[in-house]
Structure 1
Amino acid sequence: MQILIHSADAEQWQTAIAKALPAAEVVTSSAPLQARQRADYLVAWQPPGWLLEEQTGLKGIMNLGAGVDALLTNPSLPPGVPIVKLRDAGMAGPMIDYVRYAVLHFQRDFDRYAHQQGRLQWQPQPLVPKAEWSIGVLGLGAIGARVAQALATEGFPVHGWSRSPKALEGLICHHGKAGLKSLLGQVRSLVTLLPNTPETRGIIDAEALAALPEGASLINPGRGSLIDEAALLEALGPAEARNADSHASSHEARPATGHQGRLRGAVLDAFPHEPLPAESSLWRHPRVLITPHIAAPTPRDGALEQVIATLKAWQAGEPVPSVDPAAGY
């Protein structure tokens, strides 16, 4: 079995896989052309087109991440080669922590207190109980379901949304277009954990943002393509207007008075273009918190277990759940 690896830390993966599969020939994308072309299986994160074009006998691709959009949209992707992606692999824990922090950022008014500190203001805000802070989680896959259920066990009412019907313990589940509209109208924090597919690109547009209650917050640790950034900036309003709602005396949602400035704030980890360009207005908006795509790094130990299991199953001719290229996940 010949295994080709491409990633920023390819040498570490090479060592780990060679130790787990001593009979395999394991090389990285920096190996000579002849060695690269012998690959039966490619273990990679966002492989370049030239590397895919070199392959003549690939039997499978193991994607070192949960998102496969960059791979599926690569014009050099060999047709008909099965693709398997990482499913959780230890990423759910860090993702739960990230989303929990982001929700508390708004529910416990840390956004408002940060603004008040800059103005030397001492102004306690009334605490909204968790039971009154509804959360929407878009995407109920392996990671999204765990995030939603973790928030529910902490006392938040959690609405989950998926393309097709699901029933998950502790969640109020919605599906389809009508279900999305129903969910949006009920939540104070919206979390986006959908894959990047033709159906999900730009799903959080002006219409979706207008459907949220005024004063709602947006949390995106998923895919940057989900958010219409121009619509988001419009919903946030001018940077100087309603700055963090520092003088708010109540958290009660108010009737919509127009789309501009009706969103309380956003915590964003993923963007259509990364790094986020310096000219982006999101950098400078006082009600936006930006992190550099760090919500859920892939832990090698957890991922290695899935990679090895997949490679062994492929080699033994056993069925392995693979990505549906048409669906995009």
Structure 2
Amino acid sequence: MSAYILLASNDSEFNDELMLHANQYEPDFEWVLPDDDRASCATVAACWFPDKDLLTRFPNIQCLHSLAAGVEHLGETLLHSSLPICRIVDEEQKVGMLEYVLWGVLYFQRDFDRAVENQKRNHWQRYPQKKAEEITIGIMGLGEIGGYVANGLANQGYKVSGWSRTAKSFDNIQCFSGNSGLDRFLENTQIVVNLLPLNDSTYRLINESFLDKLPDDAMLINCGRGGHICYQDLCNALSRGTLRGAILDVFDDEPLQESNALWHTPNVLITPHMASASSSQVLVKQVIDNTQRFVEGRDLINTVGYAD
């Protein structure tokens, strides 16, 4: 046996599915769960919302591999552990994100949010149909996934703008960057789609000041991270009616607690972190490929620092 891979995840159903594929894939790398006696021998941890004391419990871990495109779910302790961190990069994930965002855009564009509320009141009301070219969508975060989503929406006929921390350039997309470009990006955006990574500069970026710069009746789709949003400010904007609605797929703590007020906040649609996901086969393959590289002393692929 060359190496053990520790599966450190807070989702038991996800663990069962992943383990089913993992130990059928490559006999030289055996996946183990934290309660397995062999877990203490693992040098690589495949992570999805792992316990913050992971490295205390398993001091032999020398490499952390996120089981997602993002790494923020690792938590501050692991992110700042100085260990190499890898993430998943997958074409399938980009396609899934575009599908989810397009669905979210259509949810607002075709007034499905209003139809759902009207049904609760047995109220029949039709709304004028809006064309894609009449909708301005702003994509926050123009990395691998964000750029793909922005291009996909532009190809569907939407007016698309994008904002990123550093300057980017895409055909058919009006790009803004940095603090100086954020206000101009927001002032004409009808539907904001957040796909930013979470770091010190983007934490609670979506706050009262941010929301007040949007035009009245704007909408928000958050597929970035829960830490991007100041939830009290979001609820206030929804209550005042300055923000029409929000689709939220990610949260500070997951699963979202049953007692969380967001479940019952008007004009909020909650989805359980389902915007996009790689297949178990893709996750297993990429983790094993990097583990092979780690064992052999070769350069890891898809590495990322917290600031990224």
Q: Report what 2:276 is aligned to.
A: 296
Paired AA for residue 55 in structure 2: L
Paired residues for 1:1-329 under 5 Å: 1-6=2-7, 7=9, 8=12, 9-10=14-15, 12-14=17-19, 16-32=21-37, 35-74=38-77, 79-88=81-90, 90-237=92-239, 260-320=240-300, 321-325=302-306, 327=307, 329=308
Contact 1:89 1:303 in 2 (8 A): no
Change in Cα spacing, 1:17 to 1:110, as seen in structure 2 (3 Å) is closer
Q: Which whole-Å CA distance do the structure 1 matches of 2:36 and 2:249 have between them?
A: 34
Secondary structure of residue in 2 paired with 1:308:
helix
Paired AA for residue 80 in structure 1: S
Secondary structure of residue in 2 paired with 1:159:
strand
Superposition RMSD on alpha carbons, in Å?
2.3
Alpha-carbon offset, residue 230 of structure 1: 0.9
Is 42-51 or 265-274 further displaced after alignment? 42-51
Alpha-carbon offset, residue 29 of structure 1: 1.9
Normalized against structure 1, the TM-score is what?
Answer: 0.83
Normalized against structure 2, the TM-score is what?
Answer: 0.88
Alpha-carbon offset, residue 104 of structure 1: 0.7
Q: Report what 1:244 is aligned to.
A: none
Q: Which whole-Å CA distance do the structure 2 matches of 1:171 and 1:14 have between them?
A: 42
Alpha-carbon offset, residue 219 of structure 1: 0.8
Secondary structure of residue in 2 paired with 1:264:
strand
The structure number with the bigger radius of gyration is: 1
Change in Cα spacing, 1:272 to 1:30, as seen in structure 2 (3 Å) is same
Alpha-carbon offset, residue 115 of structure 1: 2.7
Paired AA for residue 5 in structure 1: L
Q: Which whole-Å CA distance do the structure 2 matches of 1:268 and 1:44 have between them?
A: 23
Change in Cα spacing, 1:174 to 1:21, as seen in structure 2 (3 Å) is same
Q: Report what 1:243 is aligned to.
A: none
Uncovered stretches (5+) of structure 1, i.e. residues with no partner? 238-259
Paired AA for residue 45 in structure 1: W
Contact 1:88 1:142 in 2 (8 A): no
Uncovered stretches (5+) of structure 2, i.e. residues with no partner? none
Q: Which whole-Å CA distance do the structure 1 matches of 2:271 and 2:60 have between them?
A: 40
Contact 2:160 2:173 in 1 (8 A): yes
Secondary structure of residue in 1 paired with 2:262:
helix
Alpha-carbon offset, residue 283 of structure 1: 2.4
Aligned length: 302
Change in Cα spacing, 1:171 to 1:36, as seen in structure 2 (3 Å) is same
Alpha-carbon offset, residue 279 of structure 1: 4.5
